């Protein structure tokens, strides 16, 4: 009998009927069914899966409806020019890196960048200088970049050509981007923002400001993560200093020449939704989020982290949390990973977990019943299910870089057991997923500390890209 | 009032209810509604638009349902390893080029390659040697590569590292790939195939053989072009000599880390459909195609080109036409472009046109009513509508290459009027779309002949990438 593993897997998942606190932002189609215009897209999706016939448009040389829609997008976000990306923020991150930098350029990049940024650094043959992240001791999660380290790097490396910042990070935490952009402008270097999780920013004053408004040169946003748009859709916004011809070339190179109109239509709709209903619906979303945050925070064992919590602990100026995101923290001795699994069994789909936290992405399409389901599941949670030994693994220093990431691509590699890898140069990115942030980068030394952390994550059954069983790739 | 240009455009197109003789292969959803399994996908498409939660899988490190489905895919096509691509053949072409070649490598590539192949050549910094195409004098279309030229290039350039061939081309015409692959194996160089239009090959003996079966090293196929899969989906098949680790890296780099499960599910379904119903339905499709080809060929003004026609004229050994494609030829003095437009007005969507031909992509989901509609429209066509002066524009030689394509990316460019561009070095790819094949490549001389052809195409209102109004970009 012929099998259909993916189609069956999708059907099984739908059967579970989970309360949607993960991507995509349309929450199982609710975002489209919310308006008459959205219904039109929803019910036309497959019949509307057409190719670039007359009356439609050519994404790679837009002159008709795609051009018109991208002008509306640009107007709405306040960019000089905006683009629809059918290959996700991944393609936008590659395009902004290839457009802004040349081979051999030195750049400052947050250690906590997305894998697609690192892939861009490798393929564009850049020389990255990493800014350390600040890990919250109390909550054991990366909540900011180390601003002191950032300014130190800036003054040590006068020849950097640009800065790449993630805004916000996967937890919804924003660094003080205003001050970083000011610094970049002062030095006349370019500032690129991976704002994959920030497409809804600025729609209400209670949310962090949009990176486009703050004056970044190029901003990439996933449309699907928070907005009512289909998975794998993203926007790219360019400012005044960008070489548009170069940008056109690279966006075109990194995205399909047979773009899906279902994806394009949903990106058009997401902008329309924000424009017409964004402010009122996000206000309502933040209100119910606040109400349930307060209720949940009355429970003994769970704490949803607030802006105040982060500011109290870290004392970094200008740090700001997107409160349309829940970070549910458990105390040491319990496990965030096990909480995520427990909630799924209770029919609640969260976005991701780390050792002590579970992250939920809220959207205007989360209804009171979702929040109530979450509250009840937490309230009745048998805490013994979540018991896990807390392992304090703090990486105080970044691993030492022996080779540039791109140089590793040219060398011969071999697989060795983790237990024998200490002292070798890593040939892969080692990335726990989620949150998809590299622990060790190609070209960096595999030291005792990193290896210990990887072993802990393997025991916790976290998916780790770049580790195969108990072996890693190293330079021969 | 807020506008929704793309969503509205899709709805308007659906209203027209055209007989679907263009991509995608599912023909407005019919391919999914054809089976119970397909219906399950069809009706779950938006609710099934989920992210990589537990129970699903990670496309970039598949261990569950995606791994299982890609093993079934590999088994079905007979590859060593197969991949699902959510960013179309575009991403597959980039990945195969980056995996197989290093900077500075010299390769032989068909002039008639897809733009994504050329983008790969630029970004990987390769030195392309172009094989000329054979243009049919009778039908005025590129029907093959010049095999004599190919063998001449092979013997002149002993240092080539590989060959890239399109199989079939946009017209459905296949070169003698067997002999090309033998030649590559003899010289121990790699052979990469852009088989975007050949995903259905080999399912019935009456169709050309699959490039995977013929032993190519890497084969990229669009799933959406001919199979019941959503637009922007593709397969990549790797053979025994491929560095799988490198391939994994580049496929991962060029495709979204938030892949759409709707796209993935439809690729899974397309393989399932071929496996369970492919042979019988393609046999029926070829049968009805033959019946209507004969009927249409009785009409005075239209001729559907057959295998025999091509062999009679070109007399190139091993050339083969995919007969699940119609090439409707009009006589000189009439216009293929105008015929395509006329048919659309009659509710028939064709795939593409050139000066003398219209190309239609047939699939098992084209019903008798589609063919009858086409036949009636052709039979009653007022030929005066199609009158157009035939312009004989034959480019006998390829433009001279002054700079390598990648070198152009580093130089300063300026826009000049076409009429003043003769003698300058082109800084863009100049590509009429469809069929998406470059006339002039970056780094090539803009000679009088090329400029004349571009001016004709502009008059014919063909979309030409790389030309802005009447100006082109040249090296300063």
Check CB contact of A41 with chain B, cutoff 8 Å: yes
- Is a pLDDT exceeding 80 seen at residue A393? no
pLDDT score for B434: 52
Taking CA atoms, what residue in A is nearest to B465?
A61
B273-295 average pLDDT score: 98
Both tokens of residue B369? 């009513």
Facing B90 at nearest CB: one of A41, A256, A262: A256
Contact A258 B224 (CB under 8 A): yes
Contact A406, A453 (CB under 8 A): no
Check CB contact of A125 with chain B, cutoff 8 Å: no
Kindly report the pTM of this predicted structure: 0.94
Interface of A with B in 206-235 (CB under 8 A): 222, 224-225, 230-232
Sequence length of chain A is: 476
B435-442 average pLDDT score: 76
Rounded Cα distance between B8 and B1, Å, is 14
Contact A115 B257 (CB under 8 A): yes
Higher-confidence residue of A103 and A53: namely: A103
Helix or strand holding residue A209 (H, E): none
Contact A262 B51 (CB under 8 A): no
Residue whose C-alpha is closest to residue B352's, from B363, B332, B336 = B336
Backbone angles phi, psi at B334, to 5 degrees: -115, 165
What are B6-36's pLDDT values in tens digits? Answer: 999 999 999 999 999 999 999 999 999 999 9
Facing A6 at nearest CB: one of B22, B69, B115: B69
Size of interface A-B (CB pairs under 8 A): 294
pLDDT score for B435: 53
Which residues contact residue A422 at a Cβ distance below 8 angstroms, ignoring those fewer than 6 apart?
A446, A447, A448, A451
Least confident of A227-231, B55-59, B325-329: B55-59
B51-68 average pLDDT score: 88
pLDDT score for B464: 85
β-strand pairing of A190-194 with A162-166: parallel
Check CB contact of B261 with chain A, cutoff 8 Å: yes
Highest mean pLDDT among A109-113, A216-220, B107-111, B311-315: A216-220
Residue whose C-alpha is closest to residue A30's, from A201, A281, A211 = A281
Contact A225, A24 (CB under 8 A): yes
Q: Which residues pair with A190 in a beta bridge?
A: A162
What are B137-184's pLDDT values in tens digits? Answer: 888 888 889 999 999 999 999 999 999 999 999 999 999 999 999 999
Q: Quickly count helices (H) and strands (E) in chain B.
A: 16, 22
Contact B119 A72 (CB under 8 A): no
Both tokens of residue B310? 């091509």
Mutate to test the interface with A, among B256, B365, B408 (most CBs of A within 10 A): B256
Contact A314, A143 (CB under 8 A): yes
What are A407-446's pLDDT values in tens digits? Answer: 998 899 999 999 999 999 999 888 775 555 678 989 999 9
Taking CA atoms, what residue in B is nearest to A429?
B249
A444-463 average pLDDT score: 86
pLDDT score for A434: 52
Exposed, middle or buried, A35 (CB in 10 Å: 0-12/13-18/19+)? Answer: middle
- Is a pLDDT exceeding 60 seen at residue B444? yes
Contact B10 A41 (CB under 8 A): yes
Taking CA atoms, what residue in B is nearest to A66?
B6
pLDDT score for A63: 86
pLDDT score for A395: 61
Check CB contact of A405 with chain B, cutoff 8 Å: no
pLDDT score for A396: 57
State the smallest CA–CA distance between residue B49 and chain A in angstroms. 6
Contact A257 B123 (CB under 8 A): no
Check CB contact of B333 with chain A, cutoff 8 Å: no
Which residues contact residue B469 at a Cβ distance below 8 angstroms, ignoring those fewer than 6 apart?
none
- Is a pLDDT exceeding 90 seen at residue B453? no
Check CB contact of A355 with chain B, cutoff 8 Å: no
pLDDT score for A387: 95
pLDDT score for A391: 64
Taking CA atoms, what residue in A is nearest to B25?
A50
What are A22-59's pLDDT values in tens digits? Answer: 999 999 999 999 999 999 999 999 999 998 888 888 88
B188-210 average pLDDT score: 97
Taking CA atoms, what residue in A is nearest to B340?
A54
Contact A398, A132 (CB under 8 A): yes
Check CB contact of B344 with chain A, cutoff 8 Å: yes
Kindly list the strands in the beta sheet with B413-417, ordered across the sheet, starting from the edge strand earlier in the chain: B413-417, B471-475, B467-468
């Amino acid at each position: 009998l012929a099998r259909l593993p993916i189609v069956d897997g999708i059907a099984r998942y739908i059967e579970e009927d989970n309360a949607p606190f993960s991507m995509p932002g349309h929450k199982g189609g609710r975002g489209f069914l919310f308006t008459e215009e959205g219904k039109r897209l929803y019910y036309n999706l497959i019949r509307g899966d057409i190719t670039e016939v007359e009356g439609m448009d050519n994404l790679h040389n837009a002159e008709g409806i795609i051009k018109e829609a991208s002008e509306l997008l640009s107007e709405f976000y306040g960019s000089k020019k905006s683009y629809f990306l059918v290959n996700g923020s991944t393609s936008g991150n590659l395009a902004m890196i290839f457009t802004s930098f040349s081979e051999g350029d030195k750049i400052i990049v947050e250690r906590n960048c997305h894998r697609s940024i690192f892939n861009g650094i490798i393929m564009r043959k850049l020389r990255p200088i990493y800014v350390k992240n600040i890990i919250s001791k109390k909550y054991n999660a990366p909540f900011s970049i180390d601003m002191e380290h950032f300014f130190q790097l800036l003054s040590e490396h006068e020849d950097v050509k640009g800065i790449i910042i993630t805004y916000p990070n996967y937890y919804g935490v924003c660094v003080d981007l205003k001050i970083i952009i000011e610094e970049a402008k002062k030095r006349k270097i370019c500032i690129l923002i991976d704002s994959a999780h920030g497409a809804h920013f600025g729609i209400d004053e209670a949310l962090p400001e949009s990176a486009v408004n703050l004056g970044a040169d190029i901003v990439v946003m996933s449309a699907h993560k928070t907005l009512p748009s289909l998975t794998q859709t993203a926007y790219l916004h360019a400012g005044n200093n960008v070489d548009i011809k170069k940008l056109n070339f690279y966006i075109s190179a990194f995205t399909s020449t047979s773009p899906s109109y279902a994806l394009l239509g949903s990106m058009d709709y997401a902008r329309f939704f924000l424009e017409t209903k964004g402010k009122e619906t996000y206000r309502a979303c933040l209100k119910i989020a606040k109400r349930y945050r307060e209720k949940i925070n009355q429970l003994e064992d769970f704490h949803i982290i607030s802006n105040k919590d982060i500011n109290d602990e870290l004392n970094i100026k200008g740090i700001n949390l997107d409160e349309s995101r829940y970070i549910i923290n458990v105390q040491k001795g319990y496990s965030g990973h096990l909480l995520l699994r427990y909630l799924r069994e209770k029919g609640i789909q969260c976005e991701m977990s780390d050792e002590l936290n579970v992250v939920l992405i809220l959207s205007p399409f989360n209804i009171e019943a979702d929040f109530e389901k979450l509250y009840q599941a937490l309230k009745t949670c048998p805490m013994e299910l979540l018991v896990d030994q807390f392992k304090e693994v703090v990486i105080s220093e970044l691993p030492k870089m022996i080779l540039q990431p791109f140089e590793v691509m040219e060398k011969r590699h071999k697989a060795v057991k983790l237990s024998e890898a200490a002292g070798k140069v890593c040939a892969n990115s080692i990335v726990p997923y989620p949150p998809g942030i590299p622990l060790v980068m190609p070209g960096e030394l595999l030291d005792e500390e990193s290896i210990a952390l990887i072993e802990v994550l393997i025991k916790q059954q976290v998916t780790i890209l770049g580790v195969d069983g108990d072996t890693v790739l190293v330079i021969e």
